[in-house]
């Protein structure tokens, strides 16, 4: 039987040696670099902005102006800012004046806290619209009742000059208990 020493040893070519080097070091290095890049704050901000842009509730304010004009989307961000400014007004007279202006250019918001405050408006039409919106939200199951809503509805029952509004306020107050 021939010895193993008698067999000629196979030597690798320089090409094979270089291929082995390429496979071993560079893949680990590139994995580390990509992990480091993906954990960077810039990449995280980039991904967050993309998620916000492509999510269902995307605000058109996230889009560049030229795309917003082409798509013809309303500026939801500006409307949301106006609603927040309206809610921040503490003086009742100033709030009712600002609310009247807001309602001329916008639909009633789906914010129960704002609708609660609108129930104190001196105009019966605004009270009726707010009451209708609250009833719709309650029937849909999306109404998160603010703490002061039942008291506000009780005051509408007492102070309103229209019997229909009084009855609707009483019914809604009983329904949300």
Q: DSSP labels for the chain?
A: ---GGGSPPPPPPHHHHHHHHHHHHHHHHHHHHHHHHHTSHHHHHHHHHHHHHHSTT--GGGS-HHHHHHHT---HHHHHHHHHHHHH--SHHHHHHHHHHHHHHSPPPS-HHHHHHHTT-S-HHHHHHHHHHHHHHHHHT-----TTHHHHHHHHHHH-S-HHHHHHHHHHHHHH-
Name the percent of the chain lying above pLDDT 70. 76
**CA 144/CA 134 separation, integer angstroms:** 10
User: Would you state the pLDDT for residue 119?
Assistant: 87
Least confident of 26-40, 128-142, 157-171: 26-40
User: Would you state the pLDDT for residue 56?
Assistant: 46
Average pLDDT over residues 107-112: 82
């Amino acid at each position: 039987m021939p010895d193993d020493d008698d067999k000629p040893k196979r030597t690798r070519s320089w090409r094979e040696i270089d291929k082995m080097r390429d496979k071993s070091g560079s893949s680990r290095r590139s994995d580390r670099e990509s992990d480091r890049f993906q954990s960077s704050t810039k990449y995280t901000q980039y991904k967050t902005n993309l998620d916000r842009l492509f999510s269902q509730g995307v605000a058109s304010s996230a889009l560049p102006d030229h795309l917003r004009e082409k798509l013809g989307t309303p500026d939801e961000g500006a409307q949301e800012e106006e609603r927040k400014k309206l809610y921040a007004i503490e003086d009742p007279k100033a709030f009712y004046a600002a609310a009247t202006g807001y309602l001329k250019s916008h639909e009633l918001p789906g914010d129960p806290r704002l609708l609660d405050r609108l129930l104190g408006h001196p105009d019966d039409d605004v009270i009726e619209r707010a009451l209708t919106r609250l009833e719709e939200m309650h029937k849909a199951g999306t109404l998160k009742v603010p703490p002061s809503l039942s008291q506000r509805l009780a005051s509408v029952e007492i102070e309103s000059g229209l019997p229909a509004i009084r009855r609707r306020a009483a019914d809604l107050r009983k329904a949300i208990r």
